[in-house]
Amino acid sequence: MSIREQLRGLPVLAGDLPGFDAATTPDDPHTLFVRWLSEAVAAGVSEPHAVTLATVDADGLPDLRVLMLKEVDDLGWQFATNRHSAKGRQVAANPSAALGLHWREQARQIRVRGPLRPLDREACAADFLARPIPSRVASLAGPQSAVLGSPGELADALTRAERLVHDAPQTVAEDHTVYAISPVSIEFWQGDAERRHVRLRYRRNDAVWIKELLWP
């Protein structure tokens, strides 16, 4: 079977999908996000907090990767990473980003776009120390996204970082950074097997959110 045949034979938007009545949505997109997240957890969606983060490098070339959404509050939609990583360098050059969530089990996606900024060092350190030990060890081991000479180099660096976390558990990786995206638009998309998808976009206009339906 060709790749084309295989791809085109795969099911999509299958199963028992939830409805979405855009007419009864709240004025504030964050309230709707909290509702949708609770529904995703209740529906058994796998890793609903895994988001795709899109950034643009200094040459205008887009990039993306999956990471964990850590907080959504007045500061913005937050994720944590190494500020010297590829994405860290990209957002230093172009301080805006997009986040995407895709909940297959419910045929839902959420799209968030906006400028972003790093939180202060205190908040970054607190986030770092709240992470599980293997995450802290990995962050302290070496420069995320740099070219790795060999697997042995990584193994040695992890051993050194493990010892460091064991001997000095309050050690914080100075490059660990929490970023907050301040959304200018948030779209909620509910897929439908008959392709009558429902798209609701919240667009920020100063302090007010404007709600708009979009053609599917």
Ligand X SMILES: Cc1cc2nc3c(=O)[nH]c(=O)nc-3n(C[C@H](O)[C@H](O)[C@H](O)COP(=O)(O)O)c2cc1C
**Binding interface with ligand X (CB under 6 A):** 47, 50, 63, 65-68, 79-81, 85-87, 144-145
Shortest Å, Cβ 168 to ligand X: 22
When the beta carbons of 87 and 136 are compared against ligand X, the nearer one is: 87
CA distances from 127 to 89, 123, 136, 193 (A): 20, 6, 10, 40
∠ CA 190-191-193, nearest 5°, is 145
Q: Are 67 and 53 in contact (CB under 8 A)?
A: yes
Would you report the helix, strand and coil content of the chain in percent, each value rounded to 5?
30, 30, 35
Q: Are 41 and 106 in contact (CB under 8 A)?
A: no
∠ CA 114-116-120, nearest 5°, is 155
Shortest Å, Cβ 165 to ligand X: 18
When the beta carbons of 66 and 210 are compared against ligand X, the nearer one is: 66
When the beta carbons of 68 and 214 are compared against ligand X, the nearer one is: 68
DSSP annotation of 39: H
Return the structure tokens found at 94: 């172009």
Shortest Å, Cβ 53 to ligand X: 8
Residue 32's beta-bridge partner residues?
A: none
When the beta carbons of 47 and 153 are compared against ligand X, the nearer one is: 47
Shortest Å, Cβ 153 to ligand X: 17
Shortest Å, Cβ 91 to ligand X: 10
Q: Are 81 and 88 in contact (CB under 8 A)?
A: yes
Shortest Å, Cβ 34 to ligand X: 20
Dihedral pair phi/psi, residue 176, rounded to 5°: -70, 125
Dihedral pair phi/psi, residue 70, rounded to 5°: -105, -25
